[in-house]
Amino acid sequence: MNQMRDEPVRAAPSPMRDASAQPPGLARRMRPVALVCAGAIAGVLVSLGISAVAQKDSRSPLQALPLEELRQFADVFGAIKGNYVETVEDKKLIKEAISGMLSGLDPHSAFLDAKAFKEMQLNTSGQFGGIGIEIGVEDGFIKVISPIEDTPAERAGIRAADLIVKIGDRPAKGISTTEAVELMRGKPGTSLTITVSRKGEPTPRVFTLERAVIKVQSVRSSMVEPGFAYARITQFQEQTVPSLAKHLSQLASQGPIKGLVLDLRNDPGGLLQGALGVSAAFLPPKVLVTSTDGRNADARRRYNADPQDYSRQGDDPIGQLPAIYKTVPMVVLVNAGSASASEIVAGALQDHKRATILGTQTFGKGSVQTILPLSSTTAIKLTTARYYTPSGRSIQAKGITPDILVDEYPDGDLSHLRVREADLKGHLGDQVKPGADPANQGDQAGRDRKAGDEASQTERQKSLTAEQINERLRNRKPVVFGSGEDWQLQQALNHLKGRPVAKPVSTQTAAASRPDRTVD
């Protein structure tokens, strides 16, 4: 709150001094420090041209700066420097201020110091040392979004939606995801103990894991049945497109393909180029895959199934694929762990009616983060735009609604235990793309109805007691994607073969009472 400076407020004398009140004369001593800080901060911002870039203001940079707020910031800065119980370095205060500015915007904007910047580069390269989990934050706790396949975390039994309450001896409440990653990663062969709280269980679980070199295999594939191919993408990385092309070519060499299942479940996303290339493998050349819209002209872009958009090296591995992949009947599997690049692919194939989307509602991460370097080792990750499907549907905080809703298990789903974008504090809302034509948005009414079905299903799930949830979790083994016991995969194969697909358990009664509700 800004202080009123035009009229001083006078308090009546009191024999007792509030412990938080300023000592006599402190304000006078701080004023020169505050003014110097305000001038220094203003000078830095002017030199960087932040106001001119961010606000596109026609005034001079100095005039565009919020000087009153900067004075308030300088007052706080000076108070800390002069009165905090321990000496604090200027560098730390400025770094924390920058981090606070960015983290207060939305869950995905962040300051990347040297360590965080390096971690981001390791993530996109697909190899690092650690235990193998994707994490987020919920109510101040570190939450497991999903364990990475064939890693120490998955083998030990860590599950999606587990809350990490301790990493080693350090409590995990209140720490950032960057700090959590730093604590969990380390030299392969060293041990790490983490304590997790699991929904429905009264006591935490303690896991002792041995760190390993985590090599995220971006693509794997198999012929699950004669004539029916299966390809799974775990994360969109630099090598995802050429790797997918290689796998698809190998599948085609094994004989005629009658149907293809593309599995994007628990795929947290990754590089945009990967999503564009994967979409291009199945769509006609140069059709629209996704578009972005933001405040600035360079944030308003259209991305097509074109090598110029998805290939950085100038080659085109997708161009050499057998022609069958442009027409073969296709199902895309998604769930609450399918996010970002996964949702771009699913939305593009759905809008172009190239594939049937099957599973549960996706995560809903439809915002664009741009890396803006501050130096050779630091940067900021700033949300600059929203993603839209080819028909103009917003992905942000909504996700992709499957054409066919199918639970992860035959006895029902517990998707309300999974965190989605809309559950994150400070998330951006969805926004209709300017100029979008409602007539070109596909069967939106049908999709909204399916989304309502899942919402109704979730409400029923929430009525389960902790003991009922615990009982279900005790009796369930984690899904091994692509295996013979993969329920959603079996329903995808049924759809490709023209057989009935199982309805979600908790919506069967509602579906039976509605004659217009069909599941094919």
Do residues 279 and 345 touch, judged by C-beta distance below 8 A? Answer: yes
Do residues 362 and 265 touch, judged by C-beta distance below 8 A? Answer: no
**Whole-number Å distance between alpha carbons of 506 and 415:** 12
**Whole-number Å distance between alpha carbons of 291 and 269:** 16
Say how many CA atoms lie within 13 Å of 34 toward its Cβ: 18
**Whole-number Å distance between alpha carbons of 198 and 473:** 10
Strand residues in 181-282 grouped as ranges (E): 191-197, 205-210, 212-215, 219-225, 228-233, 259-263
292: closest CA among 308, 275, 268? 275
Q: Which residues are marked as active site?
A: 340, 351, 365
Give the β-pairing of 212-215 and 127-130: antiparallel
Residues 6+ apart with CB under 8 A from 470: 200, 201
Q: Which amino acid is at 512?
A: A
Give the β-pairing of 141-147 and 170-171: unpaired
